[in-house]
Amino acid sequence: MNLNEAQLLQAYRKMRQIRAFEDRVHDEFATGEIPGFVHLYAGEEASAVGFCMHLNDEDRIASTHRGHGHCIAKGVEIKGMMSEIYGRRNGTCAGKGGSMHIADLEKGMMGANGIVGAGPPLICGAGLAAKFRKNGGVAIAFVGDGGSNQGTTLESLNLATVWNLPCIFVAENNGYAESTGSKWSVSCENIADRAAAFGMPGVVVDGHDFFAVYEVAGEAIKRAREGGGPTLIECKLNRYYGHFEGDAQTYRGVDEVKKVKESKDCLMLFSKRVTEQGLLTQAQLDAIDKEVAAEIEASVAHAKSSAKPTSADLMTDVYVSYP
């Protein structure tokens, strides 16, 4: 493992930011102030952060409806995200997109997406554009186990190999698409097994283990940067909350999540490893927790006190406005 102290602190901070952000949005959603559909990423942090730690602003990612974690991992500003989730004018997308559509193109974040399976084709395009820029840029599509069954995803895998694109497809298999089990909906044992049919490497990784994700991500991203083509990586992980906020979760046992949290929570595994190996101290981690808690608190206060869009905003930005 080649992470220095600053990188380890950064990885922990990002994962903690995502967790604290999602826990807080969960609580705030219950108050009824957040409009629309909200899908939380808590539990899956090691995947987003394990990949995005290798990326810079020139690299692109495309996300899913469960996009907050990918946004934070890719460096989207937390205040703007929180405002967007509250539908405020100073949100990342001016209060027009909401939780399911947070995007920040300057950070290379091509959007959360309300259409399951819409990201992989976009990432083929971004991979193609990266090839033209010749700067070694890569493009990563995150899809769920459910999204892995869309024709768009499977066609993207084929095209990425045919065009030898610098793309990585990350299948975040959290066991469910809404209430549908991935064991049922995915026709083979592992989503990554499909890679062979598309002529690319396929890797299964424990998505709770940041270090394992970081390593396989690094190999695939390095190969893509060097012109070695695409990879399909399946992260096996768990989502802690319901499919959407308000989901009664009648399709899974009450202690299913509890067991995962106790045995392989990604933040817990990370903390244990870095402290046991003397890479970081508990005090360093605690200090981050405190800073992040304050940061999230401030983002909520900021969002709640921010102005809502007005009727003057209704018709703007459908098109570029020409003189």
Ligand X SMILES: Cc1ncc(C[n+]2csc(CCOP(=O)(O)OP(=O)(O)O)c2C)c(N)n1
What does the binding site for ligand X look like in residue numbers (CB under 6 A)? 39, 64-66, 114-117, 144-147, 174, 176-178, 243
Report the residue from 318, 320, 321, 322 that binds another protein according to the rule CB under 8 A: 318
Number of H helices, E strands in the chain: 11, 7
The binder of 97, among ligand X, Mg ion, another protein, none, by C-beta within 5 to 8 A per type, is another protein
Contact status: 88 vs another protein (CB under 8 A): yes
Cβ 130 to ligand X shortest distance, Å:
25
Contact status: 306 vs another protein (CB under 8 A): no
Contact 163, 176 (CB under 8 A): no
Contact status: 251 vs another protein (CB under 8 A): yes
**DSSP assignment string, 148-211:** GGSHHHHHHHHHHHHTT-SEEEEEEE-SEETTEEHHHHSSSS-GGGGGGGGTS-EEEEETT-HH
Report the residue from 43, 50, 69, 95 that binds another protein according to the rule CB under 8 A: 95
The binder of 66, among another protein, Mg ion, ligand X, none, by C-beta within 5 to 8 A per type, is ligand X
Cβ 181 to another protein shortest distance, Å:
10
d(CA 20, CA 61): 22
Burial 258-286 (b: 16+ CB within 10 A, else e): eebbeebbbbebbbebbeeeeebeeeebe
SS3 62: strand
The binder of 308, among another protein, ligand X, Mg ion, none, by C-beta within 5 to 8 A per type, is another protein
The residues binding another protein (CB under 8 A) are: 35-37, 87-88, 95-101, 113-117, 146-147, 149-152, 177-180, 184-186, 251, 308-311, 313-315, 318
